[in-house]
């Protein structure tokens, strides 16, 4: 099992093109930890904003009567991918991993695979 800090370091070093990552509590919108980012990528603001994305999707699934779980949500921008992966382990209920990728330097399939691996090992 890996702590938040270890998990974020793992994401940033193992995912090609990673620009920033965060572990976020989507009940409060607070980031439990962040790594990377910068003046053009405020991960704290992004964490809070993406909490609204998850809440909206969960609400829509309820209205549609969909019973499956969200694995991940992908937002594609002109030059970036924003990947949100819900943490499903017993210790991570209510959390998500947030990863921002440079679209020109990343492999989306590999990033999803690595994020899943990190999510399975995360211990909060």
Number of H helices, E strands in the chain: 3, 5
Give the residue numbers spanning the domain of 113. 4-120
pLDDT at 51: 94
In sequence order, which residues have a C-beta less than 8 Å from that of residue 2 and are 6 or more positions away? 10, 118, 121, 122, 123
Mean pLDDT for 60-73 is 93
pLDDT at 111: 96
Number of domains in the chain: 1
CA-closest candidate to residue 45, choices 98, 106, 119: 98
Kindly list the distances between the CA atom of residue 93 and the CA atoms of 16, 23, 106, in Å, as whole numbers in the listed order: 27, 12, 28
**Which CATH number fits the domain that encloses residue 38?**
3.30.450.30
Look-up of token digits 């607070």: 30
pTM over cut 0.85: yes
């Amino acid at each position: 099992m890996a702590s938040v800090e270890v998990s974020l370091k793992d994401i940033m070093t193992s995912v090609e093109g990673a620009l920033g990552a965060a572990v976020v509590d989507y009940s409060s919108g607070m980031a439990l930890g962040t790594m990377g980012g910068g003046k053009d990528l405020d991960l704290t603001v992004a964490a809070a904003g993406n909490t609204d994305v998850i809440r909206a999707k969960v609400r829509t699934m309820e209205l549609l009567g969909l019973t499956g779980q969200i694995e991940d949500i992908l937002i594609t921008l002109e030059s970036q991918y924003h990947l949100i992966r819900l943490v499903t382990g017993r210790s991570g209920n209510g959390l998500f991993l947030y990863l921002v990728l440079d679209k020109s330097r990343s492999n989306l399939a590999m990033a999803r695979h690595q994020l899943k691996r990190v999510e399975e090992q995360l211990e909060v």
